[in-house]
Structure 1
């Protein structure tokens, strides 16, 4: 990644006139609350590796991130915002005009920050999970999305499917007043870390995720019965439940990461080789 300030695009010159707020057609809600900005930057680990910022906007996070002294690549699709940011960014920032869903990340390890456009939340998360290299992602997402990913109030299928490889933490709620234009809902600060040691081998990813989907969508009065219907012996289900503190009548949403992994391992032992 280049340490020289640049803006990679064919023509990013601003049109005449004043630059208004975030482009509505791009779903931009620009972050303006300095306390939220400071907290977001504080969640970035102190490490000697590059930073990537998706949906950089006008640089509310980019410039504070640059002060960490690490190379930063700021990716922004709006040509006016990218042009402005390219002019004011310091020398350790590279501005890339492009679609964050198609952005080619660095080949080396890096950390990622994104004020996620709300209408792109699910595609951004799915894209993120399939990328290798990043170690921590600090994301600003819709509040309910942040809660669900962090399994606050119950686990969702998407979280269960990726828990063996990532941890999810909810740092705080971000009020709608922190953005311009103001969105209709609050946001949350979500921190996702790649596990140094996966709980399930990467080679088993597809099989594990199919298993998690089968359990979430399976029929039965509680996860004990669902597991038994998938072919796990009832005695094995009881041993699994005791080992993981899973109460009778528990639902898939009640399981934590370790219980999911142990359920998968128990199921795998029953499969013919």
Structure 2
């Protein structure tokens, strides 16, 4: 399944602590493999639901976790699973090839409290603005979710050894969204217009869909330079822009 498993016990222990569900939490693990990470998660969570699609690995997972009453092992495709109804935390040392699909699953799950995922380093840096640029997905979901770059994990800590390093990507649902639910459709429209321009500045992109005077006022209120390029605008400033462009209160 093109998955590289963490082989370093110290890295596994630090990762389990980073998931941070607490003793009362439910953790859903995607791509549990043979259960090495699952055991560490189970020591810290009230309950763990571990998914593994490979039947051979799923057998090893079930054997390793057979004596853990708070672990339920599921043989099957995590992406086909329904999210739990209540609050839960997502974890997983996930295959690089399905990272985007698993992140999309997480963002669409109503009960998701957090996601702590081991991903390719480049992906984690891209989504968290570590290159100084911000991706459309991060900006689009920013009012509801924070994105953070966690610890870097060298490639030699995995078996088989991948070609690149990995990192921990952390998503947290905000206790208080930066915008009210009624404003989210307008915010998403603003982001799509901004990122949908044909190169150039954010100002030029927004002027394609909004009155020029309102765009100028929004840029000033949000502290965005008139020459700012779309991808270099911090998500917090996008929220401020949308508030002014759509009359959703002061930035």
Report the TM-score, using the length of structure 2 for normalisation.
0.90
Structure 2 residue aligned with 1:134, among 90, 102, 112? 112
Report the Cα offset of residue 205 of structure 1.
4.1
Residues 206 and 99 (structure 1), Cα distance of their counterparts in 2 relative to 1, 3 Å cut:
farther
Structure 1 residue aligned with 2:154, among 172, 175, 179? 175
Which residue in 2 is equivalent to 1:75?
Answer: 51
Q: 1:134-173, aligned counterparts within 5 Å?
A: 134-153=112-131, 154-173=133-152
Which residue in 2 is equivalent to 1:29?
Answer: 4
Q: Please state if 1:248 is matched with 2:226.
A: yes
CA distance in structure 2 between the partners assigned to 1:205 and 1:27 by the alignment: 37
- Indicate if the aligned counterparts of 1:232 and 1:266 stay in contact, CA closer than 8 A: no
CA distance in structure 1 between the partners assigned to 2:217 and 2:185 by the alignment: 26
Structure 2 residue aligned with 1:262, among 215, 240, 243? 240
Question: Larger Rg: 1 or 2?
Answer: 1
1:192-249 Cα offsets, whole Å, 9 max, x none, are: 0001122234455454333312211214641122222221433x33333333332231
Residues 141 and 198 (structure 1), Cα distance of their counterparts in 2 relative to 1, 3 Å cut:
same
Structure 2: 5+ residue runs without aligned partners?
none
Residues 268 and 50 (structure 1), Cα distance of their counterparts in 2 relative to 1, 3 Å cut:
same
CA distance in structure 2 between the partners assigned to 1:128 and 1:136 by the alignment: 9
Report the Cα offset of residue 156 of structure 1.
0.8
The residue matched to 1:229 in structure 2 has which SS?
Answer: coil
CA distance in structure 1 between the partners assigned to 2:177 and 2:28 by the alignment: 23
CA distance in structure 1 between the partners assigned to 2:114 and 2:15 by the alignment: 12
Which residue in 1 is equivalent to 2:38?
Answer: 62
The residue matched to 2:134 in structure 1 has which SS?
Answer: coil
CA distance in structure 2 between the partners assigned to 1:192 and 1:55 by the alignment: 18
Which residue in 2 is equivalent to 1:189?
Answer: 168
- Indicate if the aligned counterparts of 1:31 and 1:178 stay in contact, CA closer than 8 A: yes
CA distance in structure 2 between the partners assigned to 1:30 and 1:139 by the alignment: 13
CA distance in structure 1 between the partners assigned to 2:119 and 2:63 by the alignment: 28
Q: Please state if 1:230 is matched with 2:206.
A: no
Report the TM-score, using the length of structure 1 for normalisation.
0.83
Structure 1 residue aligned with 2:69, among 78, 86, 91? 91
- Indicate if the aligned counterparts of 1:232 and 1:267 stay in contact, CA closer than 8 A: no
Residues 265 and 98 (structure 1), Cα distance of their counterparts in 2 relative to 1, 3 Å cut:
same
CA distance in structure 2 between the partners assigned to 1:46 and 1:52 by the alignment: 10
The aligned length equals 244
Structure 1: 5+ residue runs without aligned partners?
1-25
Which residue in 2 is equivalent to 1:125?
Answer: 103
CA RMSD of aligned residues (A): 1.9
Q: 1:201-240, aligned counterparts within 5 Å?
A: 201-219=180-198, 221-234=200-213, 236-240=214-218
